[in-house]
Amino acid sequence: MNQWHIGEILIQKKLIDWKQLEDALAEQKRTKEFVGEVLVRKQYVPRFLFFKALAERHAIPFADLSHIFVDARAVQRVPKSVAVKYQLVPIEIQDHTLVVGISNPLQVLPEKEIAELAQVTKIRTVLCTPDAVAAAIESNYGERPIETGALS
């Protein structure tokens, strides 16, 4: 199923119909947005279900971060700057493999460098919604105070 377009997958799953897809494709030509962005913006398909279908399209697992425990030990192994730069959230470590949530299935991660930082042998990605990744980064890393010198 990896050769199917996202619109075809959404139709096959009965999440949208052909008329909605045609409407979104016509608007995509005008706005230059991704067809998925148009479908979600027009409320033809909920963002959550769109990302589940997108994960299927790219043959990677989907993870609903609102129902997943993010292991603090995984978070501690990846600096906040790396998480923010690559928009990823470390979720857990399984048998020397760091599982990270990403919001773009086409994103290219420097897996070797991240694995080295996290002291694991492998990185495995799961797709999450962008809002969930941003919220997980914020809630797991939070705002750390910046150390400043004494003011006179």
State phi, psi for 23 to the nearest 5 degrees: -60, -45
What stretches of the chain adopt beta strand conformation (E)?
Answer: 88-94, 97-102, 122-127
Residue 143 has a pLDDT of 62
Q: Give this prediction's pTM.
A: 0.82
- Encoded tokens for 67: 């129902």
Phi-psi region of 128 (alpha: psi -120 to 50; beta: other; left: phi over 0): beta
Residues 87 and 104: beta-carbon distance below 8 Å:
yes
Binning pLDDT at 50, 70 and 90, where does residue 5 land? confident
Tell me the pLDDT tens digit for each residue of 98-110. Answer: 999 999 999 889 9
C-alpha 45: how far from chain center: 17
72-119 pLDDT, tens digit each:
999 999 999 999 999 999 999 999 999 999 999 998 899 999 999 999
